[in-house]
Structure 1
């Protein structure tokens, strides 16, 4: 079992009933997650220069493609299929890029979603100059939604009433903010006094300056969110998350040494007004939410007892299932 919340249910359920339910759930899960299409792919720039990747359903034959440190099987520039399709936008973590969750994007496209992921200006692997200006991130994500609904040549295939967002780490903070979360950055000073070696505090130390001047960043077009290992989770509190009433799927890596429990994902889970669909991933580290990669750098390395490829089959299928349910 990947997720500890399953253990108690199994222990009290009669074995025969559990076996029958397992078969039914497996059949349902397989039917929902099984690819219906191939994934088309486009690499674009928005009018302001922001780099984006777009995945969408197609029947064209995919090819194997290298995209930086990642690989994917997609049909580049293939014609799109479908009508009234849901859109999912993706926000990466600090120092990342649009390609960091390309396997999740591909799985969603194969299930009939349009997916768009941006490289956040000033907070990416090339340019980290605005890394602490997290107030810029939700606005960039909203601009991506607007681009996909109005400028992207195939925008008429998207249903503007069916929009979801996925975010990892700083991207998790980003989608919580676009979903009406209101952080309180006055909490950061005390947090960093207590935990000066934590990643967020070290990042602030490397980029000295005033804390973000927060303005309302909610985007009512977003109807459901998936959040993995959210940065700055402790800055929200109950008051800051009281308006986040849309469906939330929340993920925590149990061996996250970048954003360790309980101040990030756990704090968000405790403070949301409605209980999220919460997944605790045993033996996973922070970067295991990124797509599998083989480069000899830290974000591609997993613990010896953790199979990132196997985990992502479950992770992606659960994200597809969640968005199919919530963006119906």
Structure 2
């Protein structure tokens, strides 16, 4: 069972995960229910109150992995992650090396499509094998939250078969992307999903509950991307979808620090009359309730 004790601290451990296939290191942060005093830490430009390396609270907690968007960072979802920790989850935040704000050299390549789902499985391995947290994670209770191409990533981990698109194929015929499903993943949350790499039949093996939230004003991944999933999975009754009025593609991300909030940095901007902070309490509550139903039901 999860714990909604907001007196729990948000612990934080920073790990480095080796990806032998990519020949790269995946930065991984683990946030978890902890006993300790929080203080503000900065992860690049992103502030968050955490208790670094604090002892974990007693109990066995479900694991949630968050997959960030293209050229992004997991810290753009830090408030969502902390909310989940306070609700009794361990949250893994991998940075998809080659497709981050600091290193975007693999964007638009088949290698990136192959690497991202593997990063999720490696993050699950690292969390379960961690000397401090491993004993506190319920290994049969794992969910993945993905935003934009992060939702592509979550679907691939859950058994979807992607194909290369025009960017990746470079004029060659589309080909199946080499990905491997991870049976430990029991539920998905997809936020403004990017799904152009999926075709008819791609979702035939996706049989886990899915929560989808889309932005009514999302011009980058409009509603058709979500309906590719809803119409493609074998059992549409496992999908819960809501379209958020006024929300754009970036509305589900945490508010950016003041020094990053400027008109020419699109992820920091909401449309006139919309406030991402105002909708996030309901969003977080919906995600938490969904994860409780799907991961914690006996």
State whether TM-score is above 0.5.
yes
Matched residue, 2:8 = 37
Q: Whose strand fraction is larger, Structure 1's or Structure 2's? A: 2
Which residue is equivalent to 2:81? 105
SS in 2 for 1:53: strand
Between the aligned partners of 2:271 and 2:5, the Cα distance in structure 1 is 29
Q: What do the CA deviations read for 1:269-290 (whole angstroms, capped 9, x no partner)?
A: 2222222110111100001121
Q: 1:273, 1:33 → 2: CA distance?
A: 34
Tell me the secondary structure at the aligned position of residue 223 of structure 2.
coil
Task: Measure the CA separation in 2 of the matches of 1:155 and 1:163.
Answer: 13
Give 1:142 deviation, angstroms: 0.6
The separation in 1 between residues aligned to 2:85 and 2:278, in whole angstroms, is 20
Distance 2:266 2:10 in 1: 28
- Of 121, 130, 148, 1:151 maps to 130
Distance 1:120 1:152 in 2: 23
For residues 88-117 of structure 1, the C-alpha deviation after alignment (integer angstroms, 9 at most, x for no partner) is 111111101221211111011101111101
Secondary structure of the corresponding residue to residue 177 of structure 2: coil
- CA distance, structure 1, for counterparts of residue 72 and residue 219 of structure 2: 18
Residue 54 of structure 2 corresponds to 78
Which stretch of structure 1 is more off in the superposition, 40-49 or 98-107?
40-49
After TM superposition, give the deviation of residue 152 of structure 1 in Å: 4.7
> 1:113, 1:327 → 2: CA distance?
10
1:120 maps to which of 80, 96, 102: 96
> Which has the larger helix fraction?
1
Cα–Cα, structure 1 residues 260 and 321, in superposed 2: closer, same or farther, change >3 Å? same
1:271 aligned partner: 232
* Aligned equivalents of 1:209, 1:61: Cα separation in 2: 55
Name the SS for the 1:256 alignment partner.
Answer: coil
Do the aligned partners of 2:203 and 2:234 also contact (CA within 8 Å) in 1?
yes
2:116 is aligned to 137
User: How big is each residue's C-alpha offset from its partner over 1:24-77, in whole Å with a ceiling of 9 and x where there is no partner?
Assistant: xxxxxxx98673522112222124421111110023232233333433222222
1:256 aligns with 2:221: no
SS, match of residue 241 in structure 2: strand
Q: Which residue in the other structure is 2:252 paired with?
A: 289
Query: Which consecutive residues of structure 1, in runs of 5 or more, have no partner in the other structure?
Result: 1-30, 190-203
Match of residue 289 from structure 2 = 321
Residue 140 of structure 2 aligns with which residue? Answer: 161
Determine the structure 2 residue equivalent to 1:221. Answer: 184
Larger Rg: 1
Q: What's the Cα RMSD here? A: 2.2
**How many Å apart are 1:212 and its aligned residue?**
6.2
Give me the whole-angstrom Cα distance separating, in 2, the residues matched to 1:238 and 1:327.
Answer: 29
Tell me the number of residue pairs that the alignment of Structure 1 and Structure 2 aligns. Answer: 279
> Structure 1 residue 129: deviation in Å?
1.4
Deviations 1:247-290 (A, max 9, x none): 1001111101111232x112212222222110111100001121
Normalising by structure 2, report the TM-score: 0.86
TM-score by length of structure 1 reads: 0.79
**Structure 2 residues not aligned, in runs of 5+:** 20-24
Alignment of 1:38-57 (within 5 A): 38-48=9-19, 49-57=25-33
Q: 1:261 to 1:92 in 2, by over 3 A?
A: same
Compared CA separation, residues 38 and 179, structure 1 to 2 (3 A): same
